[in-house]
Structure 1
Amino acid sequence: MHRLIWYLTISSAIWTASIGSISTAVGEIYPFQFLVILNSILVFSRKEFNINNIIKFTFFIFSLMFFYGLLSLFWVNDISFSLKKLIHLLTGALFLFQFILIVNNLSSLRRVFLIFSINYYLVLILSIIEIISGNYFHATHFIQTYNTNSLGFHYPIVMFNNTNDLAVFIYLFFPVAAYNLLLIKKFKKIIIFTFYIIIAFIIINTESRLGSALVILNGILYIYYSQLFKINNRKLKITFTIGLIAVGTVLLLVFESKVLSTILNAVTSDTRIILFKMAFNAFSNTLSFGLGIGSLFDITSINIHNYMLEILFEYGLLIFLLYSAWLVILYLMLNKIKSKIFSVNVLIFYLKLNILLLPLWGGISSTITSQPYIWIFYAILIICANIIRNFDKRGDGNC
């Protein structure tokens, strides 16, 4: 029964906006929040936990964020909005701690990956249906649902706020879904190629510039890494890498004017840059202590469109530095994993890449508290850094 509740909690973190909610004095209560509370009672009633330093540090950072957010309610302008955001933060943090306490061995990690991947594949199926038919599963963006894109297809949204959020979700969890597909013994290359074509087709139809760039990068890096994995000689690996960088440099020089003009236009006129400037001007008057949870919405009228800057501007420089240090530690832990299994190496490679690219893919319209799947990503980082690294140390070699 407990396992069923746990799997429902994971699934509801993905489908939370489409399941429905109950209106209360503190805002909408979703099934995801109810399941997190129920699961918390079951999980935290245990007497013993295997808690190491990275879990303690994680608990410290997000507890600090919560208590700072609670304290900031004394000076924020819109207490109701900030309180709702604080409740979402608490729910997400509880979900994160449940995740890393429940998934404490390799078999449970595999089961969670399987359950999550099933949900991921369902998102892909619904996306294709929406692209082709225009029949929306859970329409939330009236402009995109009533218009076709430049390719003549319909915009996919599924249950996300908009196409950018969907594109980032598909990109972000590509390594988890690919890991499961790489475990299939027959027709592996055909399956992975087909899988990539499907996600590329969906993301390109979102017309998310960021998502399209990231999915192309994913494809290039997968080809690069799969070839690099076959090379055992260290010197050949370095030569291969240098050659790829050289090709990339030549392509950049060929399209230099177009690339530079695109970047220049983005810096001078992109809405996100304007939002960043507005938020920074307000933040600079707080002596780096932060504006308080939910305060950015008062300044910019819409979300800041960047996870990293949201934490910096709302929670202050100290919490931002602790959060950044936490990511660096996780990256270094993952970087120590050297497995003989290709699927494991691909998974770890992309997790490390997603840490480095967080300032990019974190630039979506949602906030750190409005899309629960960000907590799944955090949990996967911690669990893989813990379980796979320890598993690899034992030399079992069957991840």
Structure 2
Amino acid sequence: MLLPIVVMLCCCRREPQKSCCSLNHTYNYNNLNNFLYYYFFIVWFIYGLASFLWVKSYKWWIIAEYSLFIGVACIIICNKLLITTKYIGISLKLMYFVLTLHSLIGWFEIISGKYYFISSNMSAIYSINQYPASALGNTNNFATGMLIGFFISISFIYICRSWVIKTLVLLNALSMSCLIYMASSRANLIALILGITFLIFVKKNKFSKSIKVLLIFILLGSFSLIYPTLYRQIINFILELIGTCDNGDSISVRKNLILNGLIFLKESFLLGVGSGNTNYYMEINSCSDGYHTTYGIINMHNWWMEILVDYGVIIFILYIIMYIKLIVDNVMIYKTVSYNIQERYYALSFASFLIAYSIGCISASSNMTKEYIWLFFALILAFTNLVLHKSMQ
């Protein structure tokens, strides 16, 4: 997944600084230190290292810190080398190409019932239900990858000048949205609808808000026709989420994981149990008195809770601030940049994805070890820092 980007980065070379009105504007990397994003991830990684002093499992600590290091290194490298919007565009195209390959593999799996990248036990279940997974591990990870691909498609639809390419990208976006539905990843289905709704409201056009609301209802109606069981899945998901029964299903387990996580957080005096150690605490306590059973599941299955329980309240609050600021910055870039269509629609698609991902991130068992998610965030951060620095000049 990372190979095309790594190859591209190795080929990148610094260019002399251009004027602030240039389409492929460059910036002085030393000034990047003025931005909140860069510092936050360094602080997060250092805090994770410091948690070595109180963790109970060094095995889980090493796994989590290694993954966090890969993520932070990816962010630093992308910020260091992606010094023009042209480079960011090339990176997005390469990532989009790889995600498109995954989507094609997903369709092959659905049609043929053959799975070459998952275990035989899982492939038997997936084949019966016609679930796509590709090489991303499982349906939830696959759906998250398609969610990323869908919002990259949105930017390309607006940026591409050729109607042939626009049509192909649009069809690919529809294909990816269909694959999210086929994967039965309810959180990512809700995320997709939420991201599209946000995009419709934010996008500048001649329509009034009432017309936009009507368009959203038409869109939702179209979804119900194309995907007949979509809303039943979402409604059942919400009802199970707010219900009180514990029957061992997916939602019950997720609620128990959250309740146990809050207990662990309290016992750690809000400092967090340390990098990766939620898994350890869940493993040894899920069947103990005073805790909630998780039926052998030890991963948090909730990115927000994973950060909160592993790293404590301070890191969690800083992450929330960073996340909201990233959304606001990209919305402002979209609304204020007028001379660069690439920057405008990259910003719009990034902001829409971030809104969607706030729900989509509770789908996978853990996002810490997902390199493609770290890579996409690194591209978003590199783009945001680049445009913000340009506006400061």
Normalising by structure 1, we get a TM-score of 0.74
Deviates more, 1:104-113 or 1:169-178: 169-178
In 1, Cα distance between equivalents of 2:189 and 2:169: 18
Q: Is the Cα–Cα contact under 8 Å of residues 132 and 153 in structure 1 kept in the other structure?
A: no
Q: Report the counterpart of residue 97 of structure 1 in structure 2.
A: 76
Tell me whether 1:354 sits opposite 2:353 in the alignment: yes
CA distance in 2, matches of 1:147, 1:284: 38
Match of 1:267 among 222, 242, 249: 242
Range 377-386 or range 276-285, more displaced: 377-386
Structure 2 residue identity aligned to 1:267: I
Q: Counterpart in 2 of 1:241? A: 212
CA contact (8 A) 1:334 1:389 kept: no
Q: Judging changes above 3 Å, is the alpha-carbon distance between structure 1 residues 105 and 346 closer, same or farther for their aligned structure 2 residues?
A: closer
Matching residue's letter, 2:359: L
Separation in 2, partners of 1:9, 1:307? 27
Matched letter for residue 160 of structure 1? L
Structure 2 equivalent of residue 284 of structure 1: 266
Output one character per residue of 1:361-395: Cα deviation in whole Å (capped at 9) or x when no partner.
Answer: 1113342421012212222222232334566899x
| 318, 343, 359: which one aligns with 2:314 | 318
Aligned ranges for residues 364-383 of structure 1 at < 5 Å? 364-383=363-382
Using the alignment, how far apart are the partners of 2:201 and 2:345 within structure 1? 8
The separation in 1 between residues aligned to 2:220 and 2:170, in whole angstroms, is 26
Q: Which has the higher contact order (CA 8 A, sep 6+)?
A: 2
Among 109, 129, 135, the residue aligned to 1:159? 135
Aligned partners of 1:135 and 1:249: how far apart in 2?
Answer: 33
Q: What does 1:1-399 correspond to in 2, within 5 Å?
A: 8=3, 10=5, 50-52=29-31, 56-140=35-119, 142-148=120-126, 154-182=130-158, 183-187=160-164, 190-217=167-194, 224=200, 229-231=204-206, 236-241=207-212, 243=214, 262-268=237-243, 269=246, 270=251, 271-301=253-283, 302-337=298-333, 338=335, 339=337, 345-388=344-387
- Cα offset, 1:139, TM superposition: 1.0
1:185–1:259: structure 2 CA closer, same or farther, 3 Å change rule?
closer
Count, aligned residues: 347
For structure 2, list consecutive stretches of 5 or more residues without a partner in the other structure: 15-26, 222-230, 284-297
Seen in structure 2, the aligned counterparts of structure 1 residues 51 and 308 have a Cα distance that, compared at 3 Å, is farther
**Aligned-partner SS, 1:316:** helix
Instruction: Give the RMSD, CA atoms, in angstroms.
Output: 3.7
Is the CA contact (8 Å cut-off) linking 1:126 and 1:137 kept in structure 2? Answer: no
Give the CA deviation at 1:324.
Answer: 1.4
Measured in 1, the distance between the counterparts of 2:324 and 2:190 equals 24
**Structure 2 counterpart SS, 1:111:** helix
Does the aligned pair in 2 maintain the 1:100–1:379 contact within 8 Å? yes
Q: Report the alpha carbon displacement of residue 276 of structure 1 after superposing the two structures with TM.
A: 0.3
- Equivalent residues of 1:290, 1:317 under 8 A apart: yes
Evaluate the alpha carbon distance shift between residue 207 and residue 379 of structure 1 in structure 2; reply closer, same or farther with a 3 A threshold: same
Instruction: Report the alpha carbon displacement of residue 292 of structure 1 after superposing the two structures with TM.
Output: 0.7
Distance in 1, matches of 2:43 and 2:197, equals 39
Letter in structure 2 aligned against 1:164:
N
Q: Which whole-Å deviations, capped at 9, do the CAs of 1:102-150 have from their partners, x for residues lacking one?
A: 111122112112211111111111111111112223114x55410256x
How far apart in 2 are the matches of 1:67 and 1:344?
32
**Distance in 1 (alpha carbons) for counterparts of 2:320 and 2:280:** 25
TM-score, length of structure 2 as denominator length: 0.75
The CA deviation at 1:279 is: 0.6
Question: Deviations for 1:206-234, whole angstroms, at most 9, x for unmatched residues?
Answer: 11112233344556666x469x6441xxx
Structure 1 gap segments, 5+ residues each = 1-5, 13-34, 251-255, 395-399
- Report the Cα distance in structure 2 between the residues aligned to 1:392 and 1:163, rounded to whole angstroms: 41
CA 7–294 in structure 1, closer or farther in 2 if over 3 Å, else same? closer
Counterpart Cα distance in 1 of 2:313 and 2:212: 37
